[in-house]
Structure 1
Amino acid sequence: MTKPENAAREYDVVISGAGLAGSAAAILLARRGARVALLERRSDPAAYKVLCTHSLTANAYPVLDELGLIPALEKAGAVHNDARWWTRWGWIEPRAAAGGPELPHAYNVRRSVLDPLIRSRAAETPGVDLLLGHQVTGLIREAGRTVGLRTSTRQGEREIRARLVVGADGKDSAVAEFAGVPSRRFENTRFGYLAHFRNLPLHGGIGQTWFLEPDMAYAFPNDDGVTVLAVLPDKKRLPAFREDLEGSFLDFVRALPEAPPIDTAERVSKIIGTVDYPLHSRRPTAPGVALIGDAALTGDPLWGVGCGWALQSARWLTEAVAPAATGRGDLDKSLAAYARTHGRRLQGHQRLAADFAKARPFNPVERLVFSAAARDESLARHMHLFASRLIGPLQFLNPRVVAKAAAVNVKHRRKAARTAS
């Protein structure tokens, strides 16, 4: 429940940030017996993140299911995030194998729907106190570890103590800064702008991504007939883009292969974006502190993976620390286990994303696999698993897959040679 003034001042866990990661962690920890203070600096319970891909990759589906959000998302009109990807070799179009299971999915849904939904679920969870309008101003430290937060509210300053402090407060995490957690920064040499359109038909009614090497674009259909359309060009194009933002954005989209017909659609938002969005990685723990979501790792927005990783990291943290957070285990060992899981599951993805953020064309192995995936259904399904973050980079580019991709391309070239002769 929301308790802005009279909540108890001692908890098992205090979480800064009531977005996806923080709200999910609050629900999951409270269900395991923890008393949780969930802090949000904004006072509006319907506040939401504006600059986002508005997509939950399939790796998030099990967490959404555990949270009990699937029926509510379906009712809200969230769209299954099936997708196809344009490359210079043609479209990669993943389809389920004949007689096989459906491809795994999660949802595209606007954050204006998703954020208030998960935050209200957290507020309704027994054991969770949602404290709106609480800006973190410092940490409480004793004997070299963090034991709570200092916050600023409309009623004045207050202290909230807990065994564990969780930073779910985004890429510019105040918790991480106050805890002195170092950040590793990777330059992103693309900039990005997006806008929302209503009644924008897409081929097959599904998401589209364009790998233009090095530029990128995507169109994701969302709830209420709204499509999020984003462009992510190389920063070399930024000066010309800035001269006429709206015209440059629209012209970029019109020039896409099989471009969506934006001139007959209704634009229902401003064109918003960022010219500098570096990737950040932090160690996800410190004594008495855990970081989840973008506070621990901020990826490249072009991949649309941040929401899924926010939910997953909340679950990994809960699985690792729930007993210790309620006084039934060693918290430091539990935090170390969380850090290992977080690193094992995400570091490879982040390294690959940081390399691709240099706005480079595909490297030789990527050319081999992407071109083959445009020609072979099983490799297209393999691409779907990676794009959904259900497999990691080592599985995505394992020797067997590379060998199959080579065989597919050799067969394609032979067929093309026979056709030409």
Structure 2
Amino acid sequence: MTRPESTGYDYDVVISGASLAGSAAAILLARRGVRVALLERRSDPDAYKVLCTHSITANAYPVLDELGLVPAIEKAGAVRNEARWYTRWGWIEPKAAPGGPELPYAYNIRRSTLDPMIRSRAGGTPGVDLLLGHQVTGLVREAGRTAGVRASTPQGEREIRARLVVGADGKDSAVAKYAGVPGREYENGRFGYFAHFRDLPLHGGLGHTWFLDPDMAYAFPNEDGVTVIAVLPGKKWLQAFREDLEGSFLAFVRALPEAPPIDSAERITKITGTVNYPLHSRRPTAPGVALIGDATLTGDPLWGVGCGWALESAQWLAEAVAQAATGRGAPGDLDASLVAYARQHRRRLRGHQYLAADFAKARPFNPLERLMFSAAARDEAVARHMHLFGSRLISPLRFLNPVAVAKASAVNLRHRRAAAPSPHAHLSRTEP
């Protein structure tokens, strides 16, 4: 029965999209007393996102912990996403400081495992109605703001009214389109293909990323002995991949430094991918609307940050709007809470997206990148600092703060001095 404070609304919040961001938001909102309709256009409860890095960066571990998913993820065999990164200066291999705490981590886990897990958790959360086969076809507008959705369902068209509509429906968000939310697109100068292999040994059992400057590749181990390998070359290679996808993909992987032995492993999926994957940034809110996950910010897949940011943005939204969404606050509280969410989202992610959009031009490393990557390959402390940034636990400003840049400069200066030949080396060769 509808609560008195919800008069005129079927729910407090309706969420479009029941993958990572939408399911997480539904759980976190419902635990705070919000009545949620969680809509998923697909009817299969085990549906999952195919085009994904399958990696959750360490910044999202606290969200997984709050959701109570860590034990289930580990039981499913998820792999902690420790990694090493190839550069032309050598391998960057972040390690915990001697006697210090272990490095922050989260998990590599395939979306075929993770999506049904979190969706089932959402559907079983009191206060959440999981509505499969419900596709948003329009928004309900009232007094200049969104007040619900219209959806196509297995039973026909339906109108669902709510104080807040949340778009968790991906980079091509229908909610964003119907709400007229402005956005910006950044061209990606790389394309990407990936495939899954079983029983593929990797050095140290760790994930690998290759910064080939400017081409990219990675190999991430996942549960059940399956490793996903992705290649992300600059578009100058696109014609060759179009003419011979399999041959080009395999040749690219075989040529990688310390290449994973794909010829002795079992490939269990076809090679899939996309030739055009631009980065998107949208305003996170509109009157009566909030966007989370890829709906508000779609990053470059080479960084593997999409899953982590989807979970984080769901948490930020729940923390900001839960009380106002129930209607128990003063008039205007919901708008104020949406402003707070948008501010948090921009503050935490805008700098990361700016750097990603610049790197997506498929250009060579700039001088600052050369400084930091080369120093990280030569010094464990700089490698740990880079790990924090790659895990999105620190901002670009903190990553490139004057102390860190000075440290990297000192590391490289010591390296050059050590590598320089001694001015007396020719004398020692002539001595008896």
Structure with the greater alpha carbon radius of gyration? 2
The answer to whether residue 88 in structure 2 is matched with residue 88 in structure 1 is yes
CA offset digits 1:271-316 (Å, max 9, x no partner):
0000000000000000000000000000000000000000000000
2:378 alignment partner, SS class:
coil
Shift of 1:240: 1.1
Question: Which residue of the partner structure matches residue 113 of structure 1?
Answer: 113
Distance in 2, Cα, partners of 1:387 & 1:207: 13
Q: Which amino acid aligns with 2:23?
A: S
The answer to whether residue 354 in structure 2 is matched with residue 351 in structure 1 is yes
TM-score scaled by length of structure 2: 0.95
Shift of 1:327: 1.1
Question: Which residue of the partner structure matches residue 409 of structure 1?
Answer: 412
Distance in 1, Cα, partners of 2:172 & 2:372: 36
Unaligned stretches of 5+ residues in structure 2: 1-7, 426-432
Give the superposed CA RMSD. Answer: 1.0
Number of residue equivalences: 414
After superposition, residues 356-367 of structure 1 pair within 5 angstroms as: 356-367=359-370
Distance in 1, Cα, partners of 2:153 & 2:422: 73
Question: Which residue of the partner structure matches residue 309 of structure 1?
Answer: 309
CA offset digits 1:215-245 (Å, max 9, x no partner):
0000000000000000000011100111100
Q: Which amino acid aligns with 1:358?
A: K
Question: Which residue of the partner structure matches residue 429 of structure 2?
Answer: none
Q: Which amino acid aligns with 1:101?
A: P
Question: Which residue of the partner structure matches residue 234 of structure 1?
Answer: 234
Change (3 A) 1:11 1:419: farther
Distance in 2, Cα, partners of 1:81 & 1:154: 40
Question: Which residue of the partner structure matches residue 428 of structure 2?
Answer: none
Question: Which residue of the partner structure matches residue 389 of structure 2?
Answer: 386
Distance in 1, Cα, partners of 2:232 & 2:140: 41
CA contact 2:216–2:232 (8 Å) conserved in 1: yes
Question: Which residue of the partner structure matches residue 283 of structure 2?
Answer: 283
TM-score scaled by length of structure 1: 0.97
Q: Which amino acid aligns with 2:214?
A: P
CA contact 2:63–2:311 (8 Å) conserved in 1: yes
Question: Which residue of the partner structure matches residue 218 of structure 1?
Answer: 218
Distance in 1, Cα, partners of 2:89 & 2:20: 37
Question: Which residue of the partner structure matches residue 189 of structure 2?
Answer: 189
Question: Which residue of the partner structure matches residue 132 of structure 2?
Answer: 132
Shift of 1:419: 6.6
CA contact 1:187–1:279 (8 Å) conserved in 2: yes
CA offset digits 1:23-77 (Å, max 9, x no partner):
0000000000000000000000000000000000000100000000000000000
Question: Which residue of the partner structure matches residue 377 of structure 2?
Answer: 374
1:374 alignment partner, SS class:
helix
Unaligned stretches of 5+ residues in structure 1: 1-7
CA offset digits 1:164-211 (Å, max 9, x no partner):
000000000000000000110000010000000000000010100000
Distance in 2, Cα, partners of 1:34 & 1:414: 62
Choose from 388, 392, 395 the match for 2:398: 395
CA contact 2:9–2:163 (8 Å) conserved in 1: no
Shift of 1:9: 7.1
2:328 alignment partner, SS class:
coil
Shift of 1:85: 0.2
Distance in 1, Cα, partners of 2:25 & 2:271: 32
CA contact 1:9–1:159 (8 Å) conserved in 2: no
Question: Which residue of the partner structure matches residue 261 of structure 2?
Answer: 261
Distance in 2, Cα, partners of 1:360 & 1:211: 12
1:195 alignment partner, SS class:
strand
Distance in 2, Cα, partners of 1:294 & 1:328: 30
